[in-house]
Chains A and B, each alone.
Chain A
Amino acid sequence: MSGRLTLAAFRRSASWTGLRARVGDGIRRGVVSLPVVLVYGVGALTFIKVGQPSRHVEFWLILGGGVLVAAWTVLVLVSLLRRRPRGHGAQLLDRHHQLHGRLSNALEFSEIPAEQQSPLMRVAISDALERVQKLSPRGAAPFPIPRELGIVALLTAGLVAVALLEVRVQRYVPPPPNNFKPMVMTGDDLELFKDLATEMQNQGDDPETLAAVRRFNQLIEDISQRRLERREVFQRLANLERDLTKAGEAEREASEEGLEGLAHELEKADLSKPVADALKEKRLADAEKAMQELAEKLKNKRQPPSKAQLERLRKSLERASKASSERSQSLLEQKEELEKEKKRLLDKKKKGEELSKSEQKKLDQLDRQLERLDREKQKSERAQKQMSELDKKLAEAAQDLMKAQQGAGASAEDLQSAAEDLNRMAKKEMTEQQKQELLKRLQEMREILRQQGAGGQKRMQRMMRFGQRARGQGQPGGDPGGQQGEGQGQGEGQEGQGQGQGQGQGQVMPMLVPGQGGGQIPMAGEGSGQGQGQGQGQGKDGDQPGGGGLGGGKQWGNGHDDKLAGDGTQLKAQTKDVVAAGVDTGEGNASSEVIYGAAQRGFVGRGYQKVYTDYQTVAERVMNQDEIPPGYRFYVRRYFQLIRPRE
């Protein structure tokens, strides 16, 4: 009985057939349900490619596809993993090999214990073993080729085609946003700053100042050409300010300190007191003059100074000449002492000894003191350097005074030299003033730019209109928005009365603008308003009809003279043409008339220029003398800038 299968082989084949059936079922279900997923995929992909839906819709379409794919996967997995009935494989084999249940019956009977098997059961098993020669799980459970496979292939090809298809959709691609917003200044302001720069350039002879003015000019030019953004403008302004400030400040401080020390010593002598006073107040020109006068005094042989006066002068000159060097020396000594103390404490610490709390505190204090002394020493050295020439002259003057018991001529010469030094320093001071002036202009400009930025486009337009009108190019009768007022007037005729009323309402929106001091200053902002006027007039037996008062009645009177018809025109009267040419004598209208005229026609004309100069001079003087908050100072200056005479 070679080649006869055993029950174990039956079981293996049945098991394998069952597995194949399970896989086949998975394939069948998978292929049958796949068209749904593919149809969705083709539809969704086509819609995404052609319809160009929003990101949101695209997300949901993709999510829907994902859900379908997941559901399909679950379906296939369930088909693969679903528990099959026992003996399912054997039944498939029975059917395939037309065994009429022999195999499945034999397998089932064989599982019954032998003692419980009936004779016919054993016969049935033997019969199966005898009849079954070959089992083919592949034939019994073939992997199916569902009809839907063609559809699946077609849809898959479609999906791939759609995926590869490049749909050219004309889509509007917005141009890259042009974020360049140039800084804009009104032509009027640009002209103002250009004029100021030209003025400073003409006045200055210091190369450093001139370079700064050139940079300022370039900045103005760039702004007028609209080459710079707001941030860049402020950056360049800040750089310019910093450069100007950095260069001068340390020198100025040192110089001031040196002159102060000098004044302190010189005021101890009667003769040099005027020099000391002038130096104290930093009036270097006056100090030079006083020094010259002192030199003259010393030269004066008719009324020479007393010996005591000379001695006091000598001593004070000597001390003054040494003041800055002595101070430096003193600072150096102090520093050395402190360093010694610090070294001692640090050595102690280095040896591992623990510093007491007070010692540690002292060490910290020493550090701070040393730092301060360093700064002061540097300042003192700078002062010494600045004052070196003057000190030298003063020292020489003192020595000459000591020698010149017979006469102070040499000393006077030395003092004259010292006066020249002071003159030199004064000149330098002048340069400093120019720098300060330039700085001030820079700050003004920055403030104007800042305000323009805060005011927006409307403010800019308003300022441009203002600039035009300031030059007399605007329309004087333009709409003065926001006028309000109430007027009442009486026009008196002989027997007539006129009454006019004007009423208006307006709103002025207050605006807070940043001030120089960091505070905010309320300023008049934009205004809008409505006005209406009424006028009434009555005339009775008057020669002239009643009229409304100033700013009042636009209505005519309703009265009339009893004598309606006047005298006839005297046609026979003698007439003569006269031509009168006006002569400008400079003695024209009063200031108020000039100002009123300027407000109507623009800030032009010689009359206005004169009035402006008067007012501005007073304003400057008041600002220099009185205490005015820095923020307001700016606005006063700005006001005068705006109403300055135009050519």
Chain B
Amino acid sequence: MKRLLIAILALAALAPAVAQDAEKRRGFAIHITAPAADDFVLGRTKIEAAVTAETPADVDRVEFFVKDKVVFVDREPPYECIFDFGEQSKAWVIRAIAYHREGFSVSDVIVTRKITIESFEEVNRVILWVTVTDKSDHLIENLGKESFTVFEDGAPQTIREFFREERPITMAIVLDSSGSMREQLKEVHDAAASFVDTLRPEDHALVIDFDDKVFLLSDLTSDHDALKESVSSTEALGATALYDAIHAAFRKLRGIEGRKAIVLLSDGDDTSSQYAYDRILEEAKAQSVLLYAIGLGDVKKSVMKDLSETTGGRAFFVGKASQLGDVYRRIAEELRLQYYLSYSTTNTKWDGRFIKLEVKSKNSDWSVRARRGYFAIRGSVGK
């Protein structure tokens, strides 16, 4: 692959109005294959383009542009280059122009997306909330940091702080009120209201109700009566915008410091969201919010399980609404018995990759739950 790296030149930004005669182009085309449109890019990233032509020799060169500047000219396949997008997440315009030996050209353009990551601290301190259970699923109390080891992509980290978390929690109670919930609504109301009563006076919660539309019934408050009135007022109607509701809950909790949790109840799979599952999973990875999901009846377990376990939370599945009370009680118990763990990461490469986290207990009979990782974006970890 002979490559000609040229100085960065300010060039015509917009592709020539690719108004070339289709007949002349004879199937000559270019398509940027990586990164994907609407993906987010950071650090040194490969840009790849696929060129189709009658014969490979028809391709004179491919020029790659980032932000309207030529960053690379490639004269042989595979057409690709590496560009350093820096440590800050932003939207980028990436363009590739393929020139045919006969003088005409075709182009493709993609736009990448900025990822929203909240951050409160400059230092690269990673904070985790950890839940520990034994083989019988009992929560384990009175543990110290010596009981744990933390690994980032397999590399051990030094725990700096470890204590039982007793500070206030901020919570989003998210309730499905789609039409299918109609028969069980009374029990749902009672169970959610009793969950509100498990909150301590210093805890705050908000209530989100969703069918195909997502509404905030109560903004953050510690007023149990107000919260109970909201959770008891939902009416079953419409389809299920599950992902929109989860995204809204993440959005509402963004910018609030301390431990945060979403407690979600739904009886069905998503049927009408504007958000796709991938975006919700990305949000779950990007935000430090514990997601507890309760699936009532026949739901797609893998979705709720993956989402909640990514955050360090948990998914519960019950067949009948009468079992909801027990599940809500269990969630309340877990939230009261969690550990705060922090460490200064040894990571020095802020390239947007997802760094896998693993918290291990020295007791092999214990199971440890914590969020599964974070995006390597500078300033994103100290939440």
A in complex with B: no
- Interface residues of chain B, those whose CB is within 8 Å of chain A, are none
